[in-house]
Amino acid sequence: MVLCSKILTFSLPDGKVLLVNCLSGAVDLVSKDVADNILAESLPANERTQWEKRGYYLASFETEKTIQTHIIEASKTILSQSPLLAIIMPTYSCNLRCSYCYERQALATNVNVDMEPDNVVPLFSALMKLITERKSPRISIVLYGGDGVYPKSCTDFLGFIVKSDHLERTFSGYHSTVLLHQ
């Protein structure tokens, strides 16, 4: 048996140690003595079994490498089937004046509040290239910032989203229904 090489340790103020096994996903809060014994591979045989089950000890380094390869391949499969997530801030503009909204600070500093229309086509060309390269079935787009359908300058932006078969779309905001039906 060998100690897993993917273990992180965090000493806590109360004297305990948080063990994080990055290979198995196990997270354990233990005394400093137990942590030291695990890491020094000096646990008594009767205690070692429970830590083997949690992935702290493995049959060999080859076993660790095999597990790691399986995790990487599974992650690639999951990611290739998941939509890309693009968080885009087309504007700070908003016709609502919600008391809790922090975007008003951006408006007060006179930053450019709307995405330039000339940036829409390159942005979506890049997103479509990502779909092709990743062989991803779709992209989820989150419009973040102000009301993404409010400013007239976002008409091209929204038109692209509405027309695309590859994009998941969820809209919110006061002008959404009006603009999307025009």
- DSSP calls for 34-89: HHHHHHTT---HHHHHHHHHTTSEES-HHHHHHHHHHHHHHHHHHHHHSPEEEEEE
Residues 6+ apart with CB under 8 A from 164: 124
Coil vs helix vs strand at 87: strand
- 93 and 64 in a common domain: no
- 171 and 89 in a common domain: yes
Range of the domain at 92: 82-180
Binned at pLDDT 50, 70 and 90, residue 177 comes out as very low
Task: Look at the chain and report how many structural domains it folds into.
Answer: 2
Binned at pLDDT 50, 70 and 90, residue 99 comes out as confident
Position 65, amino acid: K
- 106 and 70 in a common domain: no
**180 vs 64, residue with greater confidence:** 64
- 169 and 105 in a common domain: yes
Binned at pLDDT 50, 70 and 90, residue 180 comes out as very low
- 165 and 122 in a common domain: yes
Residue entry with tokens 């450019």 = 112
Averaged pLDDT, 44-62: 91
- 117 and 98 in a common domain: yes
The residues that bridge with 114 in the sheet, in sequence order, are 91
- 107 and 172 in a common domain: yes
- 45 and 105 in a common domain: no
Residues 6+ apart with CB under 8 A from 137: 81, 83, 131, 166
* Residue ending a domain, choose from 76, 98, 120: 76
pTM, entire model = 0.51
pLDDT tens per residue across span 100-134: 776 666 566 666 667 777 777 788 788 778 777 77
